Chain A
Amino acid sequence: MKDIRFEGIGKAFPTRGGGQFVALDDVTLTVAEREFVAVVGPSGSGKTTLMRMAAGLDHPTSGQVAVGGKRVTAPGPDRAVVFQQFALFPWKTVRENIAFGLRCQGAPRAKQDEVVARYLRLMNMEGTEDRYPHQLSGGMQQRVAIARSYAIEPDVLLMDEPFGALDAQTRTVMQEELVRLTRREPRTTLFITHAVEEAVYLSDRVVVLARDPGRLREIVDIRPTRIAEGWDEMAIDAVMDLPSFTHLRTHVWRLLRDQIRPDD
């Protein structure tokens, strides 16, 4: 397993007037091996930008990102990304989508089949392997996208609001499935979300960003409580009723509330 280190990350985009827009300013953050870190922050606080730099899809203007001690310069299969807009290959079946990364690695056919079958089972999607993405519901598409990322057994998972487009019920189911999957196959995970409850429920730590410029506001530790109370073994609604959960959620909420503007 590998960790992710953001070391004094700054990112500025050139503006049309010839000036600069600072999207991120001096962010230092480490996601430890097998740790699940959620990032919350108001719209425009640089969450996606942060994730894209860890993926190697964007580059910081100052500071550096290292994964497993190695400086990130380009995308690589040690880091899988789940995009908010699914980004499945529309012309490939569910099976072909999930197996794509393994084929890129030159894995033998038998291994591909085995991995595909395993994730279809884990995701409760057996029997859909020959369908195309447009024949699936939004929730199923999202599960395929997650399976596709897990299938390459990446050291690091980067997820950008993966449940953002789902309805409330599907979202709850997916959150429980993700907890189940994470418990079974823990990976170093950076999970971006708008939803505070989701962040607290899923993660070991919640990173709260502020904006203008995007920067680190506070890091809230969830892990001690989650371990002590055995959240992973409980149903999602039971966890959310716990006083400790409510307390943490309210704390994160307050950190966000005083910076949210009417236009969000």
Chain B
Amino acid sequence: MAQLSPLERWVLTLLGTIGFFAIWQGVAASGLVSHNALPTPAEVLATAWQLSFEPFAGHTLLQHLAASLGRFAMGFGLAALVGVPLGLAMGRWRLLDDIVSPIFEMLRFVAPLAWVPFAALWFGTGIGGPVMVIFAGALPPCLINAYRGAKLVEPRIVEAAQVLGASGPRIMAEVLLPGSLPSIVAGLRVSAGLAWQSLIGAELIVASAGIGYVMVQAQSNLAPSIVMAGMLAVGVIGLALDVALRRTETLVKARWGQA
């Protein structure tokens, strides 16, 4: 197949997006599906615009998004703060690996959503519970990538640090961390995506604000255009996050890859 130029690829992307909305519009306007179940794209956009000024479920759309982003940042940040050092240490110290790995291997198959009941019981529905759910979703890629990265650091370099008198924490911070940075950044990107995806599950148990909370409230109010406006917002922000992190990853790889 012939190589496409960047311009051609942009055009294709644009065509795909327009096509998607055109089909959606077509189906919604055709009357084949009840209007109560499927609003048109224009209505969803109008709803999103309206929600930006008029409070729904107590707050405007931006306020809900801010609440969601705050939870996301806490859950994701906590996962990175715990997962990266733990993964690095497990990659370096066999004993720790043997202790933690079996538990971790089991727990990581519990989907983020499956943590919801446990999180609500143990950490409540205020800040703790939702953050715990996001944390559970975001932790595995942080930990696994740091672990793999640490395993791949040249053993001679770790030994060099050891014979120069470096302590365990210093070896982690100055040898294992920079040595596995490309792998860690890749892990953080995947982790951020999962954290954002876990968010809606996490917000099933909050009762104050958040984009997931908006969607649940809209569902019980039978307001499909609000539900879909919420989905749209989640999608757009997720995409923006991913693009930003992809950029960062490319930068880190370019800077670190040659070393």
List chain B residues, Cβ under 8 A from A80: 163-164
A56 nearest in chain B by CB position = B163
Contacts of A148 in B (CB 8 A): 160, 164
Assess whether B162 is in contact with A91, with CB atoms less than 8 Å apart. Answer: no
Query: B162 is contacted by which of A57, A88, A149 (Cβ under 8 Å)?
Result: A57
Tell whether B156 is near chain A: CB-to-CB under 8 Å: yes
Q: A88 to B175, alpha carbons, bound, how many Å? A: 11
Q: Which of A79, A87, A92, A100 is close to B156, meaning CB atoms less than 8 Å apart?
A: A87
- How far, in angstroms, from A88 to B166 measured CA to CA in the complex? 14
A101 adjacent to B164 (CB under 8 Å) = yes
Cβ 8 A contact of B161, one of A56, A100, A132, A152: A100
Q: Are B175 and A89 in contact (CB under 8 A)?
A: yes
Contact call A75/B159, Cβ cutoff below 8 A: yes
Residue A104 lies at the interface, judged by CB distance under 8 Å to chain B: yes
Q: Is A140 an interface residue (CB 8 A)?
A: no
**A residues 46-79 in Cβ contact with B at 8 Å:** 55-57, 75-77, 79
Interface residue A85 (Cβ < 8 Å from any Cβ of B): yes
CB neighbours (8 Å) of A91 from chain B are 178-179, 181, 256, 259
**A–B Cβ pairs within 8 angstroms, 27 of them:** A55-B163, A57-B162, A75-B162, A75-B163, A76-B163, A77-B164, A79-B163, A80-B164, A81-B159, A83-B156, A83-B159, A87-B154, A87-B159, A89-B174, A89-B178, A100-B161, A100-B164, A101-B164, A104-B164, A104-B165, A104-B166, A104-B170, A105-B165, A148-B164, A149-B164, A152-B164, A152-B165
Partner of B159, one of A57, A79, A90, A92: A57
Decide yes or no whether B11 CB sits under 8 A from chain A.
Answer: no
**Provided the pairs A89-B175, A91-B179 are in contact, do residues A132 and B164 lie with their beta carbons within 8 angstroms?**
no
Give complex CA distance A87, B160 in Å. 7
| 0 or 1 for each of B132-168: is its CB under 8 Å from A? (1 = yes) | 0000000000000000000000101101111111110
- Name A residues whose Cβ lies closer than 8 Å to a Cβ of B: 55-57, 75-77, 79-81, 83, 85, 87-92, 100-101, 104-105, 132-134, 148-149, 152
- Which residues in B have their C-beta under 8 angstroms from that of A77? 163-165
Closest to B167 in A: A104
Smallest Cβ distance from A93 to chain B, in angstroms? Answer: 11
Could you list which residues of chain B lie within 8 angstroms of chain A, going by C-beta atoms? 154, 156-157, 159-167, 170, 174-175, 178-179, 181, 256, 258-259
> Min CB distance, B86 to chain A, in Å?
22
- Other A-B contacts than A79-B163, A89-B174, A132-B259, 17 sampled, CB-CB below 8 A, are A56-B163, A75-B162, A75-B163, A76-B163, A83-B156, A87-B156, A87-B160, A88-B160, A89-B157, A90-B259, A91-B178, A91-B181, A91-B259, A101-B164, A104-B166, A104-B170, A149-B164
Give Cα distance in the complex from A214 to B228, angstroms.
Answer: 74
Residues of chain B within 8 A of A149, CB atoms compared: 164
Q: Considering the chains assembled together, what is the distance between the CA atoms of A248 and B82 in angstroms?
A: 60
Q: Are A87 and B157 in contact (CB under 8 A)?
A: yes
Contacting residues, chain A, for B157 (C-beta < 8 A): 87-90
Nearest chain B residue, comparing its CB with the CB of A100: B164
Tell me, in angstroms, the Cα distance from A141 to B163 when the chains sit together.
Answer: 18
Q: B180 to nearest A CB, angstroms? A: 11
| A134 with B164, Cβ < 8 A, contacts A81-B159, A83-B159, A89-B157 known | no
CB distance from B209 to the nearest CB of A (A): 42
What's the nearest-Cβ distance from chain B to residue A59, in Å? 14
**Given A87-B154, A91-B178, CB of A101 within 8 Å of CB of B165:** yes
With A75-B159, A83-B159 already in contact, the answer to whether A134 and B258 are too (CB < 8 A) is: yes
- State in angstroms the CA–CA spacing of A101 and B174 once bound together: 12
B residues within 8 A CB of A101? 164-165
A105 to B175, CA, bound (A): 17
> How many angstroms between the C-alpha atoms of A56 and B162 in the bound complex?
10
Please, which residues of chain B bring their CB within 8 A of the CB of A100?
161, 164, 166, 174
Complex contacts, B161 vs chain A, CB 8 Å: 89, 100
Cα–Cα distance between A149 and B167 once the two chains are bound (Å)? 17
Contact of B165 (CB < 8 Å), options: A76, A133, A134: A76
